Structure 1
Amino acid sequence: MRIDLSQRRAVVSGSTAGIGFAIAKGLAAAGAQVVINGRGAERVEQAVADLRQALPGARVEGVAADLGTAAGAADFLLRVPETDILINNLGIYQTQDFFTIDDTEWERFFQVNVLSAVRLSRHYAPGMAKRGWGRVQFISSESAVQPQPDMVHYGMSKTALLSVSRGLAGVLAGSGVTVNAVLPGPTHSEGVARMLCAQARATGVAEAEVAADFIRQQRPASLIRRLASADEVANMVVYLASEQASATSGAALRVDGGVWPSIL
């Protein structure tokens, strides 16, 4: 299967590192013109440089804007008014005891993880429908379907994305625009790598063994028995952005290594 996105433009929110950067790289490798986004100009510029180094000739630009705020989203949309492919990847996470999560923190997670995606989708999807082709994706999480006790606010936001994704797919039925959600599981992103490295230093155990212990202890249902790579998640996203995935809409597709023991 050869995926050709050379006639398409893609926006990937929160894409200076981790899964977002891997998605941007995957889309660029398939020929798409890609807009990388992050809050700070320096990180955006570095991500653009890194992608161009990895893929000489890639069509990539960077736009710094805080999409977790209405003002930041409005600024971004003025600078990038149209796209064919929208990947709502922006998200924050942290572990926190439920009884210490105050209202402000609940609202922050909803603003960044949910409303950023709503704002971008609300703006871009009508243009896609008018042109008769488009792809909207929401990067959710395995925590959407099995919320973790130490990240209840994060799980809430990722479950909300599943509802928005399925509802928007219905809104856009018959338009030529597909809408899907992708649910990564434990993934070896930069943030996870930092956590594993810190634990390795603290315990004197090799980082690879720390990662293996995490899967054994925290995700024992994993079928692949390892962390996924960011590129493995990106592969699913690139496929869903392709012409070949034109009959897939309203779906929630898992790239979780089988940690959620369900047949659906």
Structure 2
Amino acid sequence: MHIDLTGRTALVTGSTQGIGHAIALELARAGARVGISGRTGARVDEAITRIRDVVPDAVLAPVIADVTTEEGAARAAELLPRVDVLVNNLGIFGAAEPLEISDAEWRRYFEVNVLAAVRLIRQYLPGMTERGWGRIQNIASDSAVVIPAEMIHYGMSKTALLAVTRGFAKQAAGTGVTVNSVIAGPTHTGGVEDFVYELVDRSLPWDEAQRVFMREHRPQSLLQRLIEPEEIAHMVVYLASEQASATTGGAVRVDGGYVDSILP
């Protein structure tokens, strides 16, 4: 399948590292103009350089703004007023003793992982519907469905993101705009290798170590290895394409079979 996003403008939040960076790279490789979003100019510039090392002719726009705030979201809209493909990837996560999570921390997770996406959807969806074409994707997590006891606040925010997706898909019904969630499973991102080696023998080579980790600590995964960020990015690129025009309101899984369910 050949996917050509030439002429489309995409915004990927949290695209200076990890899954967001992989998504931005693959969208650029498909021909889209991509807004690289981050809070500091230095990190955005570094991300742009890394993408251009792989895609020399990439058309990239720096979007230096803290999109977790109302002011930052407005600033992003000023810097990139027209967006055809919005990927709400930015999020925070961390483990915490369930009974010790403060009200402030519950609010912070909702503000960053849910409300930041809602604000950007409110800003960009009207323009998409006026033009009769658009793609909105919210990067969720297997934790939205398989709630971890040590990350209830994170799981809650990702479950809420699934509801946000379904609701805005109904708002966009019949307009040519699709709204979907991408449920990402256990992924090989920065810091994960250290985490894996805290739990398995450090003398093992990485490929074997991650398989031991998945077998012993994430046994429900059918893939039995960590997902690479570009594998999630490939699904995002497909959902951003013309070929995915009939997929909307969905929670599309790129979880390696982690969620034990026939339906999403």
Same fold (TM over 0.5): yes
Give the CA deviation at 1:191: 3.3
Amino acid at match of 2:247: T
Q: Distance in 2 between matches of 1:199 and 1:61?
A: 40
Measure the CA separation in 1 of the matches of 2:123 and 2:176.
17
- SS of the aligned residue for 1:42 comes to helix
* Distance in 2 of aligned mates of 1:126 and 1:35: 19
Deviations 1:84-127 (A, max 9, x none): 00000000111111112111111111111101100000000010
**What TM-score does the superposition give when structure 2 sets the normalisation length?**
0.96
Q: Which moved more, 1:13-22 or 1:69-78?
A: 69-78
Identity of aligned residues (%): 53
Return 5+ residue gaps in structure 1 as ranges: none
What is the deviation of 1:219?
1.6
Q: 1:242 is aligned with what amino acid?
A: S
Equivalences for 1:43-62 in 2 at 5 Å?
43-62=43-62
For residues 17-50 of structure 1, the C-alpha deviation after alignment (integer angstroms, 9 at most, x for no partner) is 1110010011001000000111121111100010
- 2:138 is equivalent to residue 141 of structure 1: no
User: Which SS does the other structure have where 1:3 is aligned?
Assistant: coil
Opposite residue 243 of structure 1, the aligned amino acid is E
Q: 1:42 — aligned with what?
A: 42
Amino acid at match of 1:229: E
Preserved contact between residue 199 and residue 213 of structure 2 (Cα < 8 Å): no
Distance 1:217 1:147 in 2: 18
- Native 8 Å contact 1:196 1:207 kept in 2: no
Matching residue of 1:260: 259
Contact 1:199–1:210 (Cα < 8 Å) also in 2 = no
Is 2:243 the partner of 1:244? yes
Name the stretch that deviates more: 228-237 or 60-69.
60-69
State yes or no: 1:216 paired with 2:215: yes
- Map 1:1-264 to 2 at 5 A: 1-196=1-196, 203-264=202-263
Question: For residues 83 and 194 of structure 1, what CA distance do their matches in structure 2 show?
Answer: 37
Counterpart of 1:44, as a letter, is V
TM-score, length of structure 1 as denominator length? 0.96
| Post-superposition offset of 1:213 | 2.6
Q: Distance in 2 between matches of 1:198 and 1:23?
A: 28
- Aligned residue for 1:140, secondary structure, equals strand
Aligned residue identity for 2:212: D
d(CA) in 1 for partners of 2:169 and 2:239? 14
Structure 1 distance, partners of 2:193, 2:68, is 24
1:204 Cα deviation after fit: 4.4
Alpha-carbon separation, structure 2, partners of 1:140 and 1:147:
12
SS of the aligned residue for 1:228 comes to coil
Instruction: Identify unmatched segments of 5+ residues in structure 2.
Output: none
- Of 132-141 and 216-225, deviating more is 216-225
Q: Which amino acid aligns with 1:239?
A: Y
- Matched residue SS, 2:11: strand
2:256 alignment partner, SS class: coil
Aligned-partner Cα distance in 1 for 2:26–2:192:
20
For 1:203 and 1:194, how far apart are their aligned partners in 2? 9
**Counterpart Cα distance in 2 of 1:79 and 1:95:** 34
Structure 1 stretch displaced more, 211-220 or 141-150? 211-220
Cα deviation 1:48-94 (Å, max 9, x = unaligned): 01001111101112212111111211222222111000000000111
Mean CA deviation greater in 171-180 or 187-196: 187-196
Contact preservation (8 Å) 2:92, 2:109:
yes
